[in-house]
Structure 1
Amino acid sequence: MSFGARAAGPTGGNHRLASAALGVATALIATAALATGTWGPAAMNRVLAGGSVSPPPALPAAEISIQAGANPIGDGLVPIGAGPAPVSPTTPVTVAVQHGTLQTVQVTDAKSGQQVPGTLAPDSKTWRTTAPLSYDDTYQVAAVAVGEDRQVARESGTVSTVRPAALTTAALRPSDGATVGVGQPLVVRFTRPVADRAAAVRALSVSTSPEQAGSWYWMSATEAHYRAESYWQPGTTIRLNANVFGVDLGKGAFGQANRAATVRVHDSWVAKADGRSKVMQIFHNGTLAKTMPISLGSPDHPSHSGPHVVSDKKPSIIMDSCTYGVCEGDPGYYKEKVDLDLRISNDGEFVHSAPWSVGQQGSSNVSHGCVNLSPANAQWFFSHFNIGDVVEITNSGGPRLPVWDTYGDWTVPWSEWQAGGKS
């Protein structure tokens, strides 16, 4: 009798070996999946207990977008790629990532080689430039991110800025730090005609303390004025910002640089000159401070009516009638030195000392349009009135001061002023 071991069948032993190997492999995969976070503990337990689960989903790779716009994703922004349209130099360059976090971003000026500063959001999902670009320039953008799949992703692109057909500057008046009277309007003068006035006004901002609503009015294609419905309140602080850099002002012209001015309004000084009574009353902060006899323009040369604003002040000037067409040899010609002069219009109207007409002051109007005062009254007026203070002329027999004549702003009704002088 002989003894021997029973041989395994063709499937029994191999099947058990294959099953064991599969179990070990599954356990190893499950352990790795648990370590990487792709499977949770419940899935792990099911596998180890002999159950089965579907293979873990693949984690997404990082998707980097480079855009020139205010928002990182969407809103109709044009991604930087093949042939993007040039952008304003004030448009921020934004880099954003989906399914990952940004590691490094560089925006480099192709001309200078300098990098543009930027800031990374706390969640490391977006990065944005924090300084303006330059006109007619190209910027190289390079970004590196790590995706949820733990793989490194890279993206690059270029941003080009517009090339203006022309640049225009904006000069501000009053200048920064000036102290002015309650009648002083804000003035912005452009060096070139502005085709897109709406764009220009959007770039201009005014704030006042205490708050007073105001509006812009275009005197011409190159000059815009701003005022409130009535004179400024005494003690008001006015801040004017002309943020025109990067702004398309129409017909290919762009703003060259931003400007700003902070102005303070001093006490209210308003003079009311009446051509009928030949008397001028002077009000300080609304209270009558002084009354003085005057002589306004003669019937042949009547003074303009309406509010005038002091725009210049000089101890003496040479007044020459030839500046308005009455030259030497013509009837009414004059050229003489005049003292204590405060200009109230560009049409040759001043408040000044007139010793030659003291006899007519208070009784008749004999000037060429100016407000004549005695030397003593002129000295008082010169000492108290300054740029931006107001002289209101009534009953002069003359036409209203044109809005465009220096600061004829207050002759325009508020409803018309708010229309902005669009015509």
Structure 2
Amino acid sequence: MLPKKILLSVAGILAGALLLSACSSGDDGGSPAGGAPASGSASPSATPVAVTFEPAGGTGVNPATPIVVKAANGKLLDVTVTNTAKGKTVAGKLADDGSSWTSSEPLGYGATYKIVAHAQGANGQPIEQDNQISTIAPKKQANANLIPAPAAVASTGVGVGQPIVFSFGKVAVKNKAAVEKALTVESTPKQDGSWYWIDDSNVHYRPKEYWKAGTTLKVSAKIYGVDFGGGVFGAEDRTETYKVHDSWIAKADGNSEQMQIFHNGAMVKSMPISMGKDATPTHLGAHVISDKQANYTMDSCTYGVCPPDPKAYRSNEKFSERISNDGEFVHENPNSVGQQGSSNVSHGCINLNDANAQWFFQNMGLGDVVEVTNSGGPQLPVWDLYGDWTKSWADWQAGSAIK
């Protein structure tokens, strides 16, 4: 048996060793020997992957809203979005680091989509996460009809006075500001321009001054998914390009009974005319040519003036170019040749002799301008097809729905 003094010394040594051991373990947060996590604590590698969906789910989803799937504390392996009725999958792109997936094509209206995401956590554990959404079903869809039709002017281009018109047919647009924000006109070279709502279904765009000759116009309507109001939504996006041809401007003066033609700013021809008589005067202001026909039957009934009204007429005319929707044309009229250059005798049209009418027809086209002065008539209304230029720039800007 060891002496008592020696036993006490050994006990003291053992106690000191235990005390040092306790201090050492407290320095690293209390981990037990061997590095295993303490009871009640979690290692980052043990946290499972979290998958989230945008939109979160449910009904009434706008089909133009992208589907976004995200992974936290792990990565996505793949995502499949399927139209449950058609079985068609939606295209999308997975981020290089697997943190997200985003759809790259719009969804359809009134459809249900199942979303299946496979992901892997930082702990290596794979999971599958599912979701389902349904998109809005509009009462009606609105198309963005362009005037002039791009195909009709693809080879000729348009004149410097041509407004860009979006017509939404019989749809009465209630959310005009939302729709207008989806419409753009990019001009090269750049010119300031603005939209003007002619009525609830038609909106026009024009620059502050006539387009510059040679301008390219890129016109877009990004209306898919846009709420027009009243249960109506945009049917599809549309982008078109117009080219502005040389500047052709005719100046018709009721005092001189002459019309001067300017090509790119230089006067190239002057011709005698006869405009509307006192009972049916030609409108004042800048008119824009909207149509041209080598042979055309003019019938006042087309704008509501029918027999037995003394203002009614029906006649076949040659080399006719429409300058308003209420029966005003520039055309050949052999019956007024004797008055051309001296008095106004027409129903509101600008009459020319055969040679001048042919020349005018060959050189002037859609979007070109006919400015009428001293006719004795009222101002061309802004709603009369292309009465856009009769508005001052300030008044035109006031017609925008975006304030």
TM-score (normalised: structure 2): 0.86
Pairs within 5 Å for 1:191-202: 191=169, 192-202=171-181
For 2:211 and 2:342, the matched residues in 1 are separated by 34
For 1:116 and 1:328, the matched residues in 2 are separated by 60
Per-residue deviation at 1:150?
2.0
Runs of 4+ that moved beyond 6 A: 50-54
Pick aligned residue for 1:382 from 342, 347, 361: 361
Shifted more, 228-237 versus 56-65: the winner is: 56-65
Q: Residue by residue, what CA displacement relative to the aligned partner does 1:240-263 show, whole Å, maximum 9, x if unpaired? A: 111211111111111112222211
For 1:221 and 1:237, the matched residues in 2 are separated by 28
Pick aligned residue for 2:43 from 51, 58, 61: 58
Per-residue deviation at 1:287?
0.8
Question: Any conservation in 2 of the 1:62–1:100 contact (CA below 8 Å)?
Answer: yes
Per-residue deviation at 1:310?
0.4
Q: Does 1:181 align with 2:169?
A: no
Pick aligned residue for 2:142 from 168, 179, 191: 168
Q: Residue by residue, what CA displacement relative to the aligned partner does 1:349-396 show, whole Å, maximum 9, x if unpaired? A: 000112221221111111111111111111110110001100000111
TM-score (normalised: structure 1): 0.82
Q: Report the counterpart of residue 182 of structure 2 in structure 1.
A: 203
Pairs within 5 Å for 1:241-256: 241-256=220-235
For 2:34 and 2:84, the matched residues in 1 are separated by 60
Question: Any conservation in 1 of the 2:78–2:94 contact (CA below 8 Å)?
Answer: no
Question: Any conservation in 1 of the 2:177–2:401 contact (CA below 8 Å)?
Answer: no
Distance change in 2, residues 1:322/1:160 (3 Å): closer
Per-residue deviation at 1:148?
1.6
Q: Report the counterpart of residue 102 of structure 1 in structure 2.
A: 76
Q: Report the counterpart of residue 345 of structure 1 in structure 2.
A: 324
Q: Residue by residue, what CA displacement relative to the aligned partner does 1:100-149 show, whole Å, maximum 9, x if unpaired? A: 11112111111112211110112210001111111111111111211122
Gaps spanning 5+ residues in structure 1: where? 1-8, 24-42, 69-78
For 2:282 and 2:342, the matched residues in 1 are separated by 16
Pairs within 5 Å for 1:32-71: 55=38, 57-59=42-44, 60-68=47-55
For 1:99 and 1:300, the matched residues in 2 are separated by 82
Question: Any conservation in 2 of the 1:175–1:263 contact (CA below 8 Å)?
Answer: no
Shifted more, 284-293 versus 317-326: the winner is: 317-326
Distance change in 2, residues 1:106/1:332 (3 Å): closer
Q: Report the counterpart of residue 400 of structure 1 in structure 2.
A: 379
Distance change in 2, residues 1:326/1:111 (3 Å): closer
For 1:359 and 1:397, the matched residues in 2 are separated by 21
Question: Any conservation in 2 of the 1:169–1:256 contact (CA below 8 Å)?
Answer: yes
For 2:197 and 2:238, the matched residues in 1 are separated by 19
| Letter matched to residue 401 of structure 1 | L
For 2:114 and 2:309, the matched residues in 1 are separated by 71
Pairs within 5 Å for 1:21-420: 55=38, 57-59=42-44, 60-68=47-55, 79-80=56-57, 84-177=58-151, 178=153, 179-191=157-169, 192-323=171-302, 327-328=306-307, 331=310, 333-420=312-399
Shifted more, 387-396 versus 154-163: the winner is: 154-163
- Seq. identity, %: 48
Gaps spanning 5+ residues in structure 2: where? 1-6, 22-27
RMSD, matched Cα = 2.7
SS, match of residue 86 in structure 1 = strand
For 1:421 and 1:212, the matched residues in 2 are separated by 17
| Letter matched to residue 376 of structure 1 | A
Number of residue pairs aligned between Structure 1 and Structure 2: 370
Shifted more, 233-242 versus 174-183: the winner is: 174-183
For 1:307 and 1:180, the matched residues in 2 are separated by 16
SS, match of residue 215 in structure 1 = strand
Q: Report the counterpart of residue 24 of structure 2 in structure 1.
A: none
Shifted more, 304-313 versus 143-152: the winner is: 143-152
